[in-house]
Amino acid sequence: MSPAQDDLDIAALLERGRTLAAPVLRAAVDRLAAPMDTVAAYHFGWIDAEGRPSAGDGGKAVRPALALLSAEVPGSPPEVGVPGAVAVELVHNFSLLHDDLMDGDEQRRHRDTVWKVHGPAQAILVGDALFALANEILLESGSVEGGRAARRLASASRKLIDGQAQDLAFEHRDRVTVQECLQMEGNKTGALLACAVSIGAVLGGADEATADTLEEYGHHLGLAFQAVDDLLGIWGDPEATGKQAWSDLRQRKKSLPVVAALAAEGPAARRLAELLAADAKARAALGEESADFDEAEFALRAELIEEAGGRTWTADEARRQHARALTVLDRVAMPDRVRRNLVALADFVVVRQK
């Protein structure tokens, strides 16, 4: 398969997920009491801050694409996975709304975040509403499959929240081990991606063992996805990612490249540790806002992380998790075309630039 062919397939897969999920997602949001419907429409990029229709960037939409593909694993049509795709998107966006507020992030997908535009109360409330909607959508059919799907979503949601709690706790700690970071990322990113890959299959009639194995594939895929995210968070092109250069370093995130670099031996790791300790001390003394400094310092940190091997380790980790995901996939019987697409999506996750 040529690279051009790959690109085409991925674009079509992502587009199919967006297209099939969109009307159900919009109908779900329309159920919300005012002004939550408007705030949610802003968050999803359907309208701008003044309420005018907008052709916003709805994100990569990897999760809906996975949910629809997963319905095809047991031989059902992709449409059967739509409530799962929508529910997972709703939970993902519930977590974005709350995380942006907790983290104080002012921008997402090149736009002001909801709490910046509509205030903290609306960010909390609309996040809550999307979470509730996700459960409603899976359960309202009253089917046994809907209940099984909702159980997987509830468990994934709780892991997601655990992961955010761990991420917040790491901010207040001097050292975080690579293992702790991987566990946090497995919760924060892996669990919901894993759920996306199993939820369609459950709705499509797959047994629990098949769904569990698909979740295992999704868990490794999620870890690969997050490792790439962590690389893009430091070395990503701001034009492509929609975030500032060295975004994760500005936010003092203890992401994989940072913790891997700190865990290494040698002068670069030591120098990096010194810089971060001095920074933490200055921020503790002066307050988070007042201890900022020039761009050259971020460039230096990024260089030291690379020199200490944090960048290479993280890229290798993305490839390791990608390989594990594909190995697990071999254990599940499915139509060839579905398998090729799940492999292609896994490939996309590790080569993407945003």
Binding site for its own copies (CB under 8 A): 31-36, 94, 98, 101-102, 120-121, 124-125, 127-129, 131-133, 135-136, 139-140, 142, 144, 146-148, 150-151, 153-155, 157-158, 161-162, 164-166, 168-169, 187
Helix (H, G, I), strand (E, B) or coil at 107: strand
Taking the least distance from each CB to its own copies, the nearer of 127 and 257 is 127
CB atoms within 10 A of CB 293: 9
Does an H or E element contain 160, and which?
A: helix 144-171
**Spatial distance between the Cα atoms of 252 and 259, rounded to a whole number of angstroms:** 11
108 DSSP assignment: E
CB of 162 to its own copies, least distance (A): 4
CB of 154 to its own copies, least distance (A): 4
CB of 248 to its own copies, least distance (A): 18
Q: What residues pair up with 108 in beta bridges, in sequence order?
A: 111
Taking the least distance from each CB to its own copies, the nearer of 84 and 236 is 84
Give DSSP secondary structure letters for 63-121.
HHHHHHHHHHTTT--GGGGHHHHHHHHHHHHHHHHHHHHHHT--EETTEE-HHHHH-HH
Taking the least distance from each CB to its own copies, the nearer of 77 and 147 is 147
φ/ψ of 330, rounded to 5, equals -60, -20
Taking the least distance from each CB to its own copies, the nearer of 3 and 142 is 142
Taking the least distance from each CB to its own copies, the nearer of 134 and 223 is 134
CB of 122 to its own copies, least distance (A): 8
**Spatial distance between the Cα atoms of 29 and 51, rounded to a whole number of angstroms:** 15
Taking the least distance from each CB to its own copies, the nearer of 211 and 346 is 211
**Spatial distance between the Cα atoms of 257 and 264, rounded to a whole number of angstroms:** 11
CB of 251 to its own copies, least distance (A): 14
**Spatial distance between the Cα atoms of 112 and 43, rounded to a whole number of angstroms:** 9
**Spatial distance between the Cα atoms of 99 and 165, rounded to a whole number of angstroms:** 10
CB of 329 to its own copies, least distance (A): 26
CB of 33 to its own copies, least distance (A): 4
Taking the least distance from each CB to its own copies, the nearer of 164 and 241 is 164
User: Residue 186 corresponds to which tokens in the numbers above?
Assistant: 């497995």
**Spatial distance between the Cα atoms of 187 and 155, rounded to a whole number of angstroms:** 10
Contact predicate 176/170, CB 8 Å:
yes
Taking the least distance from each CB to its own copies, the nearer of 42 and 246 is 42
CB of 136 to its own copies, least distance (A): 4
